[in-house]
Structure 1
Amino acid sequence: MPSSPSSAVHPVDERLPLARLAPLALQHVLVMYAGAVAVPLIVGRALNLSPEDVAFLISADLFACGIATLIQSWGIPGVGVRLPVMMGVTFASLGPMLSMATAPEVGILGIFGSVIAAGIFGTLVAPFVSRLLPLFPPVVTGTIILVIGISLMRVGVNWAGGGQPSFPRMVEGVSVQFPNPNYGQLSGLAIAAFVLLTILALLKWTDGFLRNVAVLLGIVAGCLLAAFMGIMHFDKVGAAPWFGLVLPFHFGTPQFHLVPIVTMCVVMIVVMIESLGMFLAIGEITERRLSRDDLTKGLRADGVGTLIGGIFNTFPYTSFSQNVGLVGVTGVRSRWVTVAGGVILVALGLLPKMAALAESVPQVVLGGAGIVMFGMVAATGIRILSSVDFRTNANNLFIVAIAVGFGMIPLVAPTLFKNMPHDLHPLLESGILLAAIVAVLLNVFFNGVQSAEQARAEAASAAAAAEHV
C-alpha cells in the first residue's frame, strides 16, 4: 500500500544503499580535499614547523573536518542543520592567522587560543547572527570574498616560486632577511605551469566528476612530474605509521590574547553570515524550507566545529561551497551521503601516511593549483557582486572601491600602520578584516539596513550564484 505524502521520506533524509552511498561520499571528499589540506599546509609552513608537525596539522584538520561534518549533517540535539553539507577550514581565517603566525607573542598556541574563543563565541551568538544578515547584503559579502581571494593569491604565486622570496634569520639578536636561493627557479616554475595547464585542460575537455576534481588531479600530475625530476621525495611517507591518534592540545596549552581573539571573533561573524547564505541556497536546492531555528542549529554547528578545531590543533570551520554546488550538479539530496563523507574524513585523519604524503607535495606543485584555487575564491566574490545593482545605485560602486582599497593596504603598504599600537597589528595587518569593517560601515552609510526578509532572499540568491563558480 503506497505511503501517504505526509509519511513519505524527504529526499534529504533518504538512506541510500551502500553501493551507491560510498562512491557519492568519496566524490564529496575528493572535491573538497585539496581545499581542506591547503590551510594547514600554509599555516604550518608560515610557522616554520617541522615536516612531521605540518603532517600532524593535516591529520588533525581532516579528523576535525570529519567530526564537524558529522555534527552538521547528522546532527546532535540543538546543533546541526541536517542537510547535505561538508565542513572544511574557512579561507576567511587564513589572512588573520598568517598575521598571528608572524607575531612572536602569538604563534601557534595563540592561534589555537583565538580559535577556541571564536568557537565558544560562535556557539553563543548563533541565535542572534541571523538578525545581522541585513548588515551583510551581497555588496558586502561579495567584496569580502573578493578581497580574500586577492589576498590569498600572493600565497599561491609564492608557492609557484618555491616559497617565500626571503626568510628571516637572527644575526646578533637582530632579525635579518636573507634571499631564498631556490625562489624563482626555472624547474619549479615549469612544474607550477604544468600543474596549471593540466587543470585548465581538465576543465576544458572533461565534465562531471573529472571536472569536479580537476584541481586534485592536477596536483597528482604535478607530483608525478616532480618525483620524476627528483624534486619530490617519499622518505617521510615510508617512515610514517599507518595509524595514529589525533590528540587534543598536541602542541601545548593554548594561549589567549585579546586582539587575536577579537580578530577571530570578527572572522567568525563573517563566516557565519556566509554560512547563512549557503544554508539558504542548499535549502532551495533540496526543497527543504529552513526555519530560523534550523538556521540557528546550523550556525551553532559552525561554532561547535570551530571549538573542536581549536581543541584538536586546527582552525575555524564552515560549509564548503564547492560541495553545495556538487549537490546541485548530481541531484543527490540525501544528507547521509555527506555523513558518510564525514566518516571517510575521520578515517583519513587517523592515517598519518596520508598526511605525510600531502605534506611532501612540493610548494611549486601547490603553486599551480593555488593560483586556480585562490583565483576561484576571488571569482566567487565577483560572481556575487554581479547580482548587485550598480546601475541605479552608484553608491554600491564606492562601497566596493573603497573597501577593496582598504583591503589592499597590508599587501601594498605592509608598514603603513607601524606606528599604531602594537596590539592592533594583527587586526590592521589583515586586509580581509579591514575590507569587512569598511564595507559594512559604508553600506549602512549609503544604503541603510534592509529588511530581514529581503536580506534572506538576497543571501540565498548570492550563495546560489557563488556555488556555480
Structure 2
Amino acid sequence: RAMAVLAGLAAGTLVHVGLGFGLGAPRPPVAVAPLLEPIRWPLAVPSFSVGLLPGFLAGALACILRSFGDMVASQRANDPNWRRPDYANIEAGVMADGLGTLFAGLIGTMGLNTYSASVGLSVATEVKARRVGLGVGLGWIALAFIPGSSVVVMAIPRPVLGAALLFASAFIVLSGISILGQRMLDARRTIVVGLGFLVGISFDEIPDFYARALSASAQELLTSSLVLGLFTALGLNALFRIGAVKSRHLVWTPAAGHAVLRQFLMDSAAADGARTEEVGRIAQIAEEFATAAPSLVEGPVEVTTRFDEFVLDVAFAWTGGALQPGPVPSFDAGVDEEAMLNGITFHLIQRLADRTHRRTLPDGRQELRCEVDQ
C-alpha cells in the first residue's frame, strides 16, 4: 500500500511506452556537468516594483491560507480525535513556509509553498512518520545539486502524472469535506463555502470571461483560481458577519413542546458553525429540561444561547421551583416521585454537560446554565 503510487507510476509509464505513445513531454537539454555542482548566486541585483505589490500580497495571502488548510488536513490525518486546529503548530508551519520562500528568493529560484497532493498521498498510504518527511526533504535537497535530475520527473508521461495527482487529490478533497461535515452550516455559511468553491473553479473553466470582464489591474491581483476563490470566500464571510449576534434568545413555554426548543437550538448552532456532535448533547440537555419543566415552571422560560469556537452555552431562566438533586431513587410508597424524577433529570443533565451552574436571579427566577466544550 505504501508503494502504490510509485508502482502505479511505473506501470503507467510502461503501458504508455508499450502502446507506442513515447514519453510525452520533450525533455529539456542537459549539458554535461559534474555529478555535484554548487548553486550559483544570481548575478542580477534584486529590484522592487510597487506596481507588483498588490499581486504579490494577494498571492502571499493565498499561499498562507493554503498552507493553513494543508496543515489542518495533516493534523486531522494524524489525530483520530482531532477537534480543532492547533494554531501554535500552524504558526510554526507558516513561518517555516515563509522562511523557505525567503531563502528561495535569496538564491534566485521560485518561491515555495505546501503541496496539498502530498497530504492526500500521506492519507492514502497512511505513511505519516516524521522521519519519512525528513528523508524526503533531504532527498530533494540532494537532487538540487545534481544537474539534470528534473529530467527523470519530466520524463514521466503527463497522463500518468495526471492520474497520480487525481488519486492523491481525491483524499485531500475528502479530508476537507469531512472537516466541513463536522460543523453545522446555515444558509450563509453554505453560500460562503459553495460560491467560494464554484467561483474558484470557474476561473480555470472560463478564462476568456475573466480576461474580458476584469481590468488590467484586477488581472494582476487575481492571478489564479485559488486567489479568486479565496477572495470570494473572505468577502462573503465578512459581508455575512454584518449584524451577526453572539447570543440568541427564545421565550418558550412547556406547552409548546420540545420540538420548538430543539429547532431554536439547531438554528443557533448552525448560525455559529458549532460541531454536530456537541450540538447533539445540547439538544439532549434541552430535551431533559423539557421533561422536567411542567412540574417546575410557572409561566414562560427564557432560553439564551451563547456559542463560540470553544464552548456551547445554553441557559434556562424561569419562575418556579429549582431543578436540583432529589431523593435517592426508591420504590417506597412515601417517596416524593416528582422530586425523585426531577433529581434524575438533573443528574442526566450534569452527565451530558461539561459544566452546570445553578443560581437564583435577583428577580427571584431560577437559572440553570449548561456548558458543553467543543
TM-score (norm 1): 0.42
Q: Taking structure 1 as reference, are residues 339 and 431 closer, same or farther at Cα in structure 2, changes over 3 Å only?
A: closer
Q: Which has the higher contact order (CA 8 A, sep 6+)?
A: 1
The equivalent position to 1:403 in structure 2, one of 193, 196, 213, is 196
Q: Taking structure 1 as reference, are residues 346 and 421 closer, same or farther at Cα in structure 2, changes over 3 Å only?
A: same
Alpha-carbon distance in structure 2 between the residues aligned to 1:230 and 1:212: 18
Partner of 2:224: 430
Q: Taking structure 1 as reference, are residues 275 and 403 closer, same or farther at Cα in structure 2, changes over 3 Å only?
A: closer
Partner of 2:146: 351
Alpha-carbon distance in structure 2 between the residues aligned to 1:237 and 1:219: 25
Deviation at 1:258, TM superposition (A): 1.2
Report 1:1-400 matches (<5 A).
208-218=1-11, 220-221=13-14, 224-225=17-18, 229=22, 236=29, 239=32, 241-249=34-42, 253=46, 256=49, 257-278=52-73, 280-281=75-76, 284=79, 292-312=87-107, 313-318=109-114, 320-322=118-120, 324-325=122-123, 329-330=126-127, 333=129, 335-359=130-154, 361=155, 365-374=157-166, 376-377=168-169, 380-389=172-181, 393-400=186-193
Q: Report Cα offsets for 1:107-136 as digits up to 9, x if no partner.
A: xxxxxxxxxxxxxxxxxxxxxxxxxxxxxx
Alpha-carbon distance in structure 1 between the residues aligned to 2:72 and 2:173: 13
Deviation at 1:271, TM superposition (A): 2.1
CA contact (8 A) 2:24 2:158 kept: no
CA contact (8 A) 1:242 1:352 kept: yes
Alpha-carbon distance in structure 1 between the residues aligned to 2:8 and 2:44: 31
Alpha-carbon distance in structure 2 between the residues aligned to 1:235 and 1:413: 29
In structure 1, runs of 5+ residues without a counterpart are 1-207, 455-469
Alpha-carbon distance in structure 2 between the residues aligned to 1:265 and 1:325: 26
Q: Taking structure 1 as reference, are residues 324 and 388 closer, same or farther at Cα in structure 2, changes over 3 Å only?
A: same
Alpha-carbon distance in structure 1 between the residues aligned to 2:88 and 2:169: 29
Q: Taking structure 1 as reference, are residues 225 and 425 closer, same or farther at Cα in structure 2, changes over 3 Å only?
A: same
How many correspondences in the alignment?
Answer: 240
Deviation at 1:277, TM superposition (A): 0.5
Alpha-carbon distance in structure 1 between the residues aligned to 2:27 and 2:171: 35
In structure 2, runs of 5+ residues without a counterpart are 242-270, 275-307, 312-374
> Are positions 1:418 and 2:181 aligned together?
no
Alpha-carbon distance in structure 2 between the residues aligned to 1:230 and 1:276: 35
Alpha-carbon distance in structure 1 between the residues aligned to 2:9 and 2:23: 21
CA contact (8 A) 1:428 1:434 kept: yes
CA contact (8 A) 1:246 1:350 kept: yes
Instruction: Name the structure where strand makes up a greater proportion of residues.
Output: 2
Deviation at 1:230, TM superposition (A): 8.2
CA contact (8 A) 1:218 1:369 kept: no
RMSD: 4.2
Alpha-carbon distance in structure 2 between the residues aligned to 1:234 and 1:281: 39
CA contact (8 A) 1:306 1:316 kept: yes
